[in-house]
């Protein structure tokens, strides 16, 4: 099981750190699913999703490094950490349907996190908000993909 450490989302950096933990968690769950013999029929899909989440992590690191404007470092006081925690403790030996349902919950929570973060980031950094909106939309698309399995 991949272990995530979710910080309090009180700064731009902490929001990005939270997002990175979401991506790490999601990628870890998909990797486990891809290795699970009972879910072998969807292994390629799970592998692709794991890779996509890892790549999203790179985008977040890039955003943090390139888009942060020192002038706009306002404290963030209205994103509650507890509302977006995800479960990465995938039960052993699940079938495709159960595994997809488990992962879909992560996608759903992530989508909500990115939508809410984008709303907050809009007043700080428009460019970062755009990235978060994009990631949230991808979460929604991923969830739909999982539900079709």
Partner 1 sequence: MSEVQKNYGKLKNYVNGEWVDSESDKLLDVENPATGEIIAQMPLSTVDETKAAIELAQDAWQEWRETPPISRARIFFKLKELLELDFENIARIMVQEQGKTIDESRGETRRSIENVEVACGIPSLMFGYGLEDGAAEGIDEDAIISPLGVFAAICPFNFPAMIPYWFWPYAVATGNSYIVKPSSQVPITQNYMFRAVEKAGFPPGVINLVNGSHEVSDTLMEHPKVKGISFVGSSPIAKYVYKKSAENGKRVQAQGGAKNSLVVMPDCNMDRSVANMLASFYGCAGQRCLAGSNLILIGDVAEPFMKKFTEASKKIRVGYGLDESNNMGPVISAKSKTKILGYIDGAVKDGAKPVLDGRGIKVPGYEKGHFVGPTVLDHCTPDMAACKDEIFGPVVTVLRMKTLDEAIDFIHSSPFGNAASIYTQNGKWARDFRYKTQCGNIGINVGIVAAMAYFPFAGYKNSFFGDLHGQGQDAINFFTDRKVVITRWY
Interacting residues with partner 1 (CB under 8 A): 7-14, 17, 64-66, 68-75, 77, 123
Supply the DSSP symbol for 124.
T
Query: If phi over 0 gives left and psi between -120 and 50 gives alpha, with beta otherwise, what is residue 78?
Result: alpha
To which H or E segment does residue 48 belong? helix 43-67
* Cβ nearer to partner 1, comparing 37 with 65: 65
Closest contact distance (angstroms) between CB of 65 and partner 1 is 5
- CB nearer partner 1, residue 9 or residue 27: 9
CB-count burial class (<10 Å; 0-12, 13-18, 19+) for 70: exposed
The minimum distance between CB 55 and partner 1, in angstroms, equals 19
Nearer to partner 1, 5 or 37 (CB): 5
As a whole number of angstroms, the distance between CA 130 and CA 133 comes to 5
Q: In the complex with partner 1, which residue's Cβ is closer, 14 or 52?
A: 14
Which DSSP string do the residues of 59-89 spell out, in sequence order? HHHHHHHHH--GGG-----S--GGGG-----
Least distance (Å) between residue 44 CB and partner 1: 34
Q: How far is the CB of 53 from partner 1 (least distance, A)?
A: 20
């Amino acid at each position: 099981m991949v272990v995530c450490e979710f910080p309090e989302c009180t700064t731009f950096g902490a929001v990005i750190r939270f997002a990175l933990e979401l991506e790490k968690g999601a990628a870890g769950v998909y990797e486990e699913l891809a290795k699970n013999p009972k879910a072998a029929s969807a292994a390629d899909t799970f592998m692709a999703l794991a890779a996509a989440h890892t790549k999203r992590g790179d985008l977040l690191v890039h955003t943090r490094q390139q888009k942060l404007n020192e002038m706009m470092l306002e404290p963030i006081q209205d994103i509650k950490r507890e509302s977006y925690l995800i479960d990465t403790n995938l039960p052993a030996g699940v079938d495709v349907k159960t595994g997809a349902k488990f992962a879909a919950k992560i996608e759903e929570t992530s989508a909500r996190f990115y939508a809410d973060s984008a709303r907050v980031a809009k007043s700080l950094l428009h460019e970062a908000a755009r990235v978060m909106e994009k990631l949230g939309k991808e979460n929604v698309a991923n969830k739909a993909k999982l539900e079709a399995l």
